[in-house]
Amino acid sequence: MFERLAHFSYWISILFVPFVFIGMPILIISIPNSTDVIFDEGMNIYKFIYLCFNAIVFYHWFYCIRFLFKYDRYSKSIFPLFFFSVFYAPIYYYRVKIKKRPLRNKIKTEEKIETEDNSIDDSEFLELTRNNIIGVLNLWSSKEEQLEYQESDPSINVSSELFEQWNDFYTSDSEVLTEAFTPEEVSLLEKFDAELTIRSNPSDNTPPNIIEYMETEDWKALNSLSIELLTDFEKM
C-alpha cells in the first residue's frame, strides 16, 4: 500500500510542483481575476484541491527521507533532499526506485580504498570475502531481513537473490576461501553449499516470491541450517 501511494505521489509531485512555481504565475499574469479565487480568505473547491495536492507532495518528500535513512543513509542525496525538499524528492525517487541505482546503507571499505589508490591489499580482500559470505549466511538466517530486503525493492526476487548472492561469493576449492576461513569453517561452508545445491532448482525459471518461499520445506531447512552454522562460527 505504502509503495503504491509513494509511486502515486511521485507522479503528483512531478505535475504539481512545476505547476505551482511555473504554471500558477503564468495563470495569474494571464488571468488577473484568478487571484480572487486563489487568495480568497474562505475555503473553496480550488483551495481544497490545492491543499490536497500539497499534502500528497509533502507525503512524497517524507517518504523519500524515510527511505533514505532506512536503506540509503550514506548517499550524498541526503543534502539536496533536505535543502531542496519537494523539488528534489521526485528526482531521488526516480533514481533509487525506478532506475534502481545501488543503495548506500553501509560504508564499503573497498570503495574508499579504490578512491585513494584503486587497489586493495591481500588481507583486505580476504576480509572482504569472509564478510560477504558471512553476510549471505546472516541473510539466509533472518526472516525479518529477507522481508525488509524485499520491501526495499519490490522489483527484485529475494528468493532468487539468496541463491545468487551465495554463488557470487562462495567458490569451492578456492585458495581465497581456504585463506579467509579455517579448515573447520570451510567444512561448515561446504555443508551449507551442498544443502543449497540439493534444494535449488535450476530448471525453475519462475521461483516463488519470498513470502511463498518461506512456507516451503526448502527455505525452512536452509534457514535452520544457516542459523546452526552461524552459531558454530561464534563458538570457534
Burial class (CB in 10 A: 0-12, 13-18, 19+), 7: middle
Look at the chain and count its residues. Answer: 236
Query: Is residue 178 situated within a structural domain?
Result: yes
Co-location of 12 and 63 in the same domain: yes
pLDDT score for 119: 47
Q: What is the pTM of this model?
A: 0.49
Final residue belonging to a domain, choices 73, 98, 123: 98
Co-location of 144 and 52 in the same domain: no
Segment 151-180, tens digit of pLDDT: 998 888 899 889 889 988 888 777 888 888
Number of domains in the chain: 2
Distance CA 192, CA 197 (A): 9
Q: How sure is the predictor about 112, in pLDDT bands with cuts at 50, 70 and 90?
A: very low
Query: Is residue 103 situated within a structural domain?
Result: no
Does 53 score more than 70 pLDDT? yes
Co-location of 129 and 206 in the same domain: yes
- More confident site: 110 or 138: 138
The mean per-residue pLDDT over the stretch 141-158 comes to 91
Co-location of 121 and 218 in the same domain: yes
pLDDT score for 129: 86
Query: Is residue 13 situated within a structural domain?
Result: yes
Co-location of 117 and 215 in the same domain: yes
Query: Is residue 228 situated within a structural domain?
Result: yes
Final residue belonging to a domain, choices 98, 133, 164: 98
Co-location of 171 and 55 in the same domain: no
Distance CA 83, CA 106 (A): 23
Co-location of 48 and 82 in the same domain: yes
Query: Is residue 94 situated within a structural domain?
Result: yes
Co-location of 164 and 224 in the same domain: yes
Does 2 score more than 90 pLDDT? no
Co-location of 231 and 151 in the same domain: yes
pLDDT score for 204: 55
Query: Is residue 167 situated within a structural domain?
Result: yes
Co-location of 69 and 132 in the same domain: no
Does 70 score more than 80 pLDDT? no
**Nearest C-alpha neighbor of 159 from the set 199, 99, 190:** 199
Co-location of 123 and 226 in the same domain: yes
Provide the domain limits for residue 126: 110-235
pLDDT score for 118: 43
Does 144 score more than 90 pLDDT? yes
Query: Is residue 104 situated within a structural domain?
Result: no
Alpha carbons within 13 angstroms on the beta-carbon side of residue 207 total 22
Co-location of 145 and 212 in the same domain: yes
pLDDT score for 192: 93
Query: Is residue 27 situated within a structural domain?
Result: yes
Does 113 score more than 60 pLDDT? no
